[in-house]
Structure 1
Amino acid sequence: MARISVDMDFIEELVDFKLRTLKGEVGKILKKWG
């Protein structure tokens, strides 16, 4: 059980990081076009 919860925490961290990276990339693209 403990291992699964650790994996879930890791996945949440990874998703959060990817979302922030994606937002940053979208922001750059919008600035370029806007």
Structure 2
Amino acid sequence: MGLREEVNVANQIVGSGFSSAELHIKAYQNT
């Protein structure tokens, strides 16, 4: 697995993490 592929995987994880993090932030603000 090359460095470029690892970066692509990391970007996908970060991208999906942002969407779920936004949901968590909204949930915390509602409480």
After TM superposition, is the score higher than 0.5?
Answer: yes
Shift of 1:30: 2.7
How many residue pairs get matched? 31
- Segments of 5+ residues of structure 1 without an aligned counterpart are none
TM-score (norm 1): 0.66
TM-score (norm 2): 0.69
> Percent identity at matched positions?
3
Q: Which portions of structure 1, spanning 4 or more consecutive aligned residues, are displaced by more than 6 angstroms?
A: none
Cα distance in structure 1, aligned partners of 2:30 and 2:15: 23
Q: Which has the larger radius of gyration?
A: 1
Tell me the SS of whatever aligns to 1:16: helix
Q: Structure 2: how far apart are the matches of 1:16 and 1:24?
A: 13
Which runs of 5 or more structure 2 residues have no equivalent in the other structure?
A: none
